[in-house]
Structure 1
Amino acid sequence: MIDQVRPSDLDAWLAAQGGNGVVLDVREVPELRAASIHPLGFELVAIPMNEIPGRLAQLDPDRPVACLCHHGARSMRVAMFLAQNGFGQVANIAGGIDAWSLERDPTVPRY
């Protein structure tokens, strides 16, 4: 089962996993240009969803990974893929960057 973590609860989830976490933004480049989050207490890695299988080696399966997209559907698919490929600490950021803007950082544009 993949953890569903609201943006407002991300810090607590990362801490419960032992810290040193990654937020994996799986949106496309134009979406990243429209709105991006600022890493604070985690590493931010951007890899579009369709590139994840070919770039899996760029991610550390021993680190907690919270996946992010626009509303949470694509990131959930990526989170399930990561879990099926040996990543033990995986979450989906429920509501995506849209919820991030509403709950955590209103300076992040909504689109």
Structure 2
Amino acid sequence: MIQAISPAQLQALLRERPDTVLLDVREDDEVALCALPGHRHIPMNLIPLRHNELPDDVPIVLYCHHGIRSLNSARYLAEAGFDDLYNLSGGIDAWARDIDPEMARY
């Protein structure tokens, strides 16, 4: 099951579970503009080829710009057998707005 997670909830999860994987599914040029600290980057189109690089024993929070691509990627991972999946509501744009106003936005 894919759970929606707000930026504030994600901040709390990262304090509680620092081993949480932050999976950025945006394109390279988007990641170059801004990214969450400690993220892992696998563009959405490469998830089917590279999902075996992800651990299946820790929470995985997927994010993109606004949350649509990451939700679709999370659905793919759920079908592939991953359990502890979250989608960042509003994407990195919501994180920048609500948590890190110094972060670049686009």
Q: Which residue of 1 aligns with 2:42?
A: 47
SS at match of 2:35: coil
Cα drift, residue 61 of structure 1: 1.5
- Equivalent pairs, count: 105
In 1: Cα distance, 2:51 partner to 2:59 partner:
14
Q: Which residue of 1 aligns with 2:19?
A: 20
- Please tell me whether residue 61 in structure 1 is matched to residue 56 in structure 2: yes
SS at match of 1:30: helix
Instruction: Calculate the TM-score normalised by the size of structure 2.
Output: 0.91
In 2: Cα distance, 1:92 partner to 1:24 partner:
10
Where do 1:86-97 residues align within 5 Å? 86-97=81-92
Query: Where does structure 1 lack aligned partners over 5 or more consecutive residues?
Result: none
Q: Could you list the runs of 4 or more consecutive aligned residues of structure 1 that deviate by over 6 angstroms after TM superposition?
A: none
In 1: Cα distance, 2:62 partner to 2:35 partner:
13
Q: Which residue of 2 aligns with 1:31?
A: 30
Instruction: Calculate the TM-score normalised by the size of structure 1.
Output: 0.87
Query: Where does structure 2 lack aligned partners over 5 or more consecutive residues?
Result: none
